[in-house]
Amino acid sequence: MVRAIRQAPTRRTKARPMAEMLSVGLGHYVNAGRLVVATNLPSAPLSRTIQAARRAGRLVDATSGRRTRGALFMDDGTIVLTLLRPQDD
């Protein structure tokens, strides 16, 4: 006896718009829609905030071992370290 294999019906979903990605250097990208603040690095309170994020596991280092020049604060509390400085426009 041969049984026919029944396939699950496919769902048709609307295509989601592509998120705008922001280059942070060396082939690393972040979602621009989730970016809250972009800052320069040379302040003591910011350095303490970065150390606290590192201890809590909320720090992403996108510098690939190079000098950190900027930090991006994301909406979920993650901090992304970059080697690019934010530009004034």
Per domain, the residue ranges of the chain are: 22-82
Q: Is the pLDDT of residue 51 over 80?
A: yes
Chain-centre distance for alpha carbon 59: 10
58: Cβ contacts below 8 Å, ≥ 6 apart: 77, 78, 79
Q: Tokens 């150390």 belong to which residue?
A: 51
> What integer pLDDT is reported at residue 12 of this predicted model?
60
Q: Determine the Cα–Cα distance for residues 63 and 70; give it in Å rounded to an integer.
A: 10
Residues 6 or more apart whose CB falls under 8 angstroms from that of 64 comprise: 26, 28, 83
Q: Per this entry, what is the length of the chain?
A: 89
pLDDT above 70: percentage of residues in the chain: 78
Mean pLDDT of the chain: 84
